[in-house]
Structure 1
Amino acid sequence: MWTDLAFYLPILVIVVAFLASAIKILREYERGVVFTLGRFTGVKGPGLIILVPLVQQMVRTDLRTVVLDVPSQDVISRDNVSVKVNAVIYFRIVDPDKAIIQVADFLQATGQLAQTTLRSVLGKHDLDEMLAERDKLNDDIQEILDAQTDAWGIKVANVEIKHVDINESMVRMIARQAEAERERRAKVIHAEGEQQAAEKLLEAARTLSLQPEAMQLRYLGTLSSISSQHSSTIVFPFPIDIGRFFAGPDRKAAE
């Protein structure tokens, strides 16, 4: 009995080792890049994969979206302002064979390319554009990265600039600039109001000048509103035309 066990045990171990190296199970989001005697022979998966031991090798790839955090980069804007900018990139593998064969480490290659592209694109814009037009900058960076990583079988889905860090002196300068801009707008609005008021007064004067009696009625209406304020003393300019109107008959008789 022990002799039979000693005979079959090595065979059993060899069979188990053979099956372990030949049978592979890939998850739904995984693919296997298969090489036969060192040559690429196809992409397999997901599910049960059977390989020929010692003849075929398989490299697993993950097709899920990868979130890559780009570290802060020192960027000098087009208007010579030094800022620190970091971003996050979302990408995934669409061609597993290219991601394994065309580049040694697609994750590191994409990260380094993202850093250089971030500095290159942002260096072409002013500081105000970095702060106000992030969506446009994100689209520009995503388009450049997607075009360059296409040869690696990688699809860059999205790029988001997270922070634009500015030193304290520049923050104070921006605050003073914003304050001056608000003051300028307030002065312009006040001047426009004065201009519109002057135009309306001129229009009213032209309307009243068409009939002298309208001006007299305006004076009487103003006097009526002042008298309703219960003031003991009322100083009111007396129009000369009204005096002439009341003195008209007597003056004509005297003449």
Structure 2
Amino acid sequence: MPDFPVPPSMSLVPSMKRKLPLNTISASIVAALLLLSAGLTAMTRQPGWVIGGVVLAVLVHMSLKMCNSWQRVLVLRAGKIQGLRGPGLFLIVPFLDQIDAVVDQRIRTVPVHTRQTLTRDTTPVDVDAVVFWMVHDPLRAITELDNYEGSVSMVALTTLREVVGSSDLATLLEDRRRIDGELRDLIESKTREWGVTVQAVEIRDVQLPDSLQDAMSRQAQAERERSARVTLASAEREVAHELAQAAKTYEAAPIALQILQINRIFEMNKNRGTTILMPTTMADAMTSATAFAAAMQTVQPEPGAPAATGEVSG
């Protein structure tokens, strides 16, 4: 059985039990009260100022709280929900109110990994995805779930397995955008009731078994070889068509074919010291073609004279 990965956000302590930022305003007021009480005590020689200053400083420290702009605080009064506080400064009743949870409303990410999940065409794959989500209703997220971050992670994991199991391997590899949209809609339909909004889901990687990768590589190589052979056959067909047209031309003008042969031999014999062997009949044909070409160049009719008729013998 494959091991189910534990999302990083699934910890023993719920991550919504966050601490409030350092309240420098409250600390400054407490320090000012202590200094004022100490000064009054030194001036009046009455210790009651120190006691009163310490008590007042403790009450200010316990009642004056602060949270950041992206945080919301759930306040309970005697165990009952008093409401959300923040952002900025807010007051609570000391010893009666308590801060139960601090919710971060920024967009967060949850990595989701599935191992050896079978697709619809029974192919085991490893899929890695990232879920972008945020809390749009902190009160519902805190009161309806014990650990909403862990719940989002588990819902994303199970939904990813469902989508992978209902999709073909080709769809996972070629149509990731549609799969991402389907994952986002399915996860959000389950988490919206908890006060959580899923912004986006992106599949980072789809890993295949080594044997399947080798088979796909061989298939791609065979496809490329088939395409190359088809291209070569098409080129040879075009060359054969052009050669057939050239053959018809040379059949109508045999002297042109012989001159072409002479030209080819001349091109081959550019490098001195090359020995070329050819049949005697071919050499005789080239000799007659050479003589005919020379006669056509030397015998030119005089201007205004009628063209001479006759035969030129080689």
TM-score (normalised: structure 1): 0.73
Say which of 75, 100, 123 aligns to 1:81.
123
Q: 1: CA distance between counterparts of 2:175 and 2:232? A: 31
Offset, 1:226? 3.2
Q: 2: CA distance between counterparts of 1:240 and 1:126? A: 72
Pair 1:50 & 2:94 matched: no
Say which of 235, 238, 241 aligns to 2:282.
238
SS in 1 for 2:275: coil
Structure 1 gaps, min length 5: none
Offset, 1:111? 0.7
The match for 1:202 is 244
Offset, 1:185? 2.9
Offset, 1:243? 9.2
Amino acid at match of 1:148: K
The match for 1:27 is 68
CA 200–31 in structure 1, closer or farther in 2 if over 3 Å, else same: farther
Q: 1: CA distance between counterparts of 2:188 and 2:237? A: 55
TM-score (normalised: structure 2): 0.61
The match for 2:155 is 113
Amino acid at match of 1:89: V
**Matching of residues 73-222 of structure 1 within 5 Å:** 73-206=115-248, 208=250, 214-222=256-264
Q: 1: CA distance between counterparts of 2:86 and 2:251? A: 94
Larger Rg: 2
* Deviation by residue 1:174-199 (Cα, 9 ceiling, x = unmatched): 33333333332332232233223223
CA 208–66 in structure 1, closer or farther in 2 if over 3 Å, else same: same
Which moves more between the two structures, 168-177 or 45-54?
Answer: 168-177
Q: Give yes or no for contact 1:73–1:115 (8 Å, CA) kept in 2.
A: no
Which moves more between the two structures, 90-99 or 239-248?
Answer: 239-248
* Deviation by residue 1:126-159 (Cα, 9 ceiling, x = unmatched): 3344344444433432343234333333232333
CA 227–88 in structure 1, closer or farther in 2 if over 3 Å, else same: same
Offset, 1:110? 0.8
Q: Give yes or no for contact 1:73–1:119 (8 Å, CA) kept in 2.
A: no
| C-alpha RMSD of matched pairs (Å) | 4.0
* Deviation by residue 1:31-69 (Cα, 9 ceiling, x = unmatched): 22456673564x432110113453675632112232212
Q: 2: CA distance between counterparts of 1:240 and 1:40? A: 117
SS in 2 for 1:156: strand
CA 209–116 in structure 1, closer or farther in 2 if over 3 Å, else same: farther
CA 122–40 in structure 1, closer or farther in 2 if over 3 Å, else same: farther
Structure 2 gaps, min length 5: 1-45, 293-309
Offset, 1:29? 2.2
CA 213–44 in structure 1, closer or farther in 2 if over 3 Å, else same: farther
Q: 2: CA distance between counterparts of 1:142 and 1:66? A: 14
Q: 2: CA distance between counterparts of 1:133 and 1:66? A: 25
CA 49–202 in structure 1, closer or farther in 2 if over 3 Å, else same: farther
Q: Which has the higher strand share?
A: 1
Pair 1:71 & 2:113 matched: yes
